[in-house]
Amino acid sequence: MPRLNVLFVVSECVPFAKTGGLADVAGALPAALAERGHDVRVVLPRYRVTKKHPARMLDHVLTVPVSFGPVFGGVSETTLPGSRAKVYFLEHDNLFDRGGIYGDSNGDFGDNLARYTFLSRGALELCKLLNFEPDVVHVQDWPTSLVPVYLNTLYRHEPLGRAASVLTVHNLAYQGWFNKSELHVTGLGWDTYLKGGLERRDTINVLQGGLVHATIVNTVSPTYATEIQTPGGGEGFDGLLRARGDVLGILNGIDDTIWNPELDKHIAAPFSAHDLTGKAACKAALQREMGLPERPDVPLIGMVSRLVTQKGIDIFAESLGRILAEDVQVVVLGSGEKWAEDLFLRLSHSTPHFRAWIGMNEPLSHKIEAGADLFLMPSRYEPCGLNQMYSQRYGTLPIVRAVGGLDDTVDNFVTGFKFEELSSAALSQCVEWALHAYRDEPAHFRAMMLRAMKKPMGWNHAARQYEALFRLAMAKRRGHLTDG
Ligand code: ADP
Ligand code: GLC
C-alpha cells in the first residue's frame, strides 16, 4: 500500500491544547496513522497554553492573506509524543497568545473568524513552504472548515488543489456563525458566499462551507451519522447531509498510552482486569481528596463533563434530589454554564456525599475514572463521547443515555447501563438500577467490570477505516477534477 501524505488541521490537540474530546482525537489518530506508515503533519495554532511545550522554530515566514492584506506569522515544529507524526504550530501572538482557546470568561473571542482563517489558510501556505504535497487534507469541525472551501476556490488551480479533503464532524451544533460584513477576512468573494455554500440565513456559516465543499464528510459514530441525517438531530443540515449521501460514522478509539489503569501516573495505584486490587486504593484516594467519607462499600458515581445542555446536565440537576436520597457518593468535575457551576458548588458545601470541582483538572479526571464505581453521561446528544470508553477501560461502569456514540460503545447490562428517554425520571431510574446491581448482584457487577476493561477500544481499527476513507476521497477528488 503506498503511503499517504496527510495534512491534519485542527484547533486543539493533546498534549498541547485541550477543551474537549476533539483534542484527544487529534493527539491520537495522526499517531495511529503515522504508525501505519503514512506521513502525517498536524497543524494547530501556537496558543499561549502550547508555549510550555518546546518546539523548534523554523526559518520560514508564513504569509497568510487575512482580511485586506498579508499577515505574517512564524512556524515551529515538534512531534506528537512517542510518534513520528510532525506537529506544526502556526504562531501569531496577536491572534493566539491569549488566556483561552476559543474564548475566555467574556465569551467567544470576537475575532475568531480571523483566527481560524489564519489557521486554515496558513496550513495550506505552510504546505507550500515545506514542499509538502498532501494527498488528503483532514479537517475537523467549523474552525478548519474553510480549508475545503479554499481548495475548491482560491487554490483550485494550484498543485495543492489536487488534494482531497475530508471533513470530520465532531459536533454539528458548533457551526461558526459570523456577520457577512466580515467576509473580507476570509479572502473569499461574494460569489462563494452566495452560491458556494457559505451563506445561511443571511449570515456566514463556516461549517456549512465545509459540508458543501469537502470531498467526503464523516462523523465519529455510526449512530450519530444516522441521527444527524434526521430533522431532529441535523441542526438544520439534515437535508444537506442526506443529499451528500456519503456521511458515515467512524467510532473514535482511546489512546492506550494515556488512558490505561496499568500505566496511569495520575492514579493512586495501578490495576488491571487481572488484578483489581489497586482500584480500591484509587477509590479511597479519590474519597480522601474530595473530602468524602472513606467507605469502600458505598457506590461512588463520577462525572467529568463540560457543563452544557449537550451533556444533559439539566436533567442531571433535576434528578439529584432522588439520587442523593440513596446511600451513594457523587463526584462531579466540570466547567461550563454558570447556573450549573453555582448549583454544584452550593451542593458541594451543603451535602456530605456530593462533591464538585469546577474547572479543567486533568489529573482529577483520571482519578475519577479510576476511583469511581459508576460514571454518568446523560447526554442530550453525543457524537461519540470518550469518557464512557475511558471509564470502561478503568472498570467504572458507565450509565449513559442511549444516543449517538454512547449507544454504539456501551452494551446494556454487559459493560454499562443505558436509558432512552431524556428525562430526570428515566435517568434516576437507571441510576437506581445500577446501584441495585452494585449492591445486590456483586458477582454480575464484577463480571461487567471485567468485560468492560477487556473490550478492545484502541485506535488501530479506526485508523484503518480512515485510511480507506482517505483513499475513497482521493479517488473521488480525481474524478471531480477530471469531470470539471
Ligand atoms: P466532549 O468533547 O463533547 O466534551 P468527550 O467525552 O468526547 O466530550 O471528551 C471530553 C474530554 O474532555 C475527555 O478527555 C474528558 O476527560 C475531558 N474533560 C472534560 N471536562 C474536563 C474537566 N473539567 N477537566 C479535565 N478534563 C475534562
Ligand atoms: C466532540 C463531541 C464528542 C466527541 C468528541 C471527539 O467534542 O461532543 O462526543 O467524542 O468531539 O470526536
Number of the ligand 1 atom closest to the C-alpha atom of 306: 20
pLDDT tens-place string over residues 297-352: 999 999 999 999 999 999 999 999 999 999 999 999 999 999 999 999 999 999 99
Q: Give me ligand 2 centre to Cα 384, in Å.
A: 5
Residue 18, number of CB atoms within 10 A of its CB: 18
pLDDT of 244: 97
Give 167-220 pLDDT, tens digit per residue: 999 999 999 999 999 999 999 999 999 988 999 999 999 999 999 999 999 999
Looking at the fold, whether 444 and 465 belong to one and the same domain comes out as no
Q: Are residues 242 and 310 in the same domain?
A: no
Q: What integer is the mean pLDDT of 95-111?
A: 96
Round to whole Å and give the CA distance between 87 and 481: 30
Closest ligand 1 atom number to CA of residue 333: 23
20: nearest Cα among 123, 198, 141: 141
Q: Residue 272: is its pLDDT beyond 60?
A: yes
pLDDT band, residue 255 (cuts 50/70/90) = very high
Give pLDDT, residue 211: 98
**Whether pLDDT at 418 is above 90:** yes
> Into how many domains does the chain fold?
2
Ligand 1 closest atom vs CA 382: 3
- Asked, for residue 263, whether it belongs to a domain, the answer is no
158: pLDDT strictly greater than 80 = yes
Is 382 touching ligand 2 by the criterion CB < 6 Å?
A: yes
Ligand 1 contact via 387 beta carbon (within 6 Å): yes
Task: Give distance in angstroms: CA of 355 to centre of ligand 2.
Answer: 25
Same domain, 189 and 285: no
270 within some domain: no
Q: Are 393 and 254 in contact (CB under 8 A)?
A: yes
When pLDDT is cut at 50, 70 and 90, the band that residue 483 belongs to is low
Give the ligand whose atoms come closest to the C-alpha of residue 403. 2
Q: Are residues 305 and 173 in the same domain?
A: no
The reply to whether 442 and 342 lie within a common domain is yes
129 CA from centroid of ligand 2 (Å):
32
DSSP-derived pairing of the beta strands 56-57 and 39-45: unpaired
Protein residue whose Cα sits closest to atom 1 of ligand 2: 170
Find the helix packing angle between 338-350 and 313-324, rounded to 10°: 10
Check pocket membership of 308 for ligand 1, CB cut-off 6 A.
no
Which residue segment(s) compose the domain that 72 sits in?
A: 5-253+460-483
Whole-number pLDDT of residue 217: 98
Res 421 pLDDT > 90: yes
Domain with residue 104: its CATH number is: 3.40.50.2000
Please check the confidence at residue 484 and state whether its pLDDT lies above 70: no
Which of 479, 470, 477 is CA-nearest to residue 151?
477
pTM (two decimals) = 0.97
Mean pLDDT for the chain overall: 97
- List % helix, strand, coil for the chain (3-state, nearest 5): 45, 20, 35
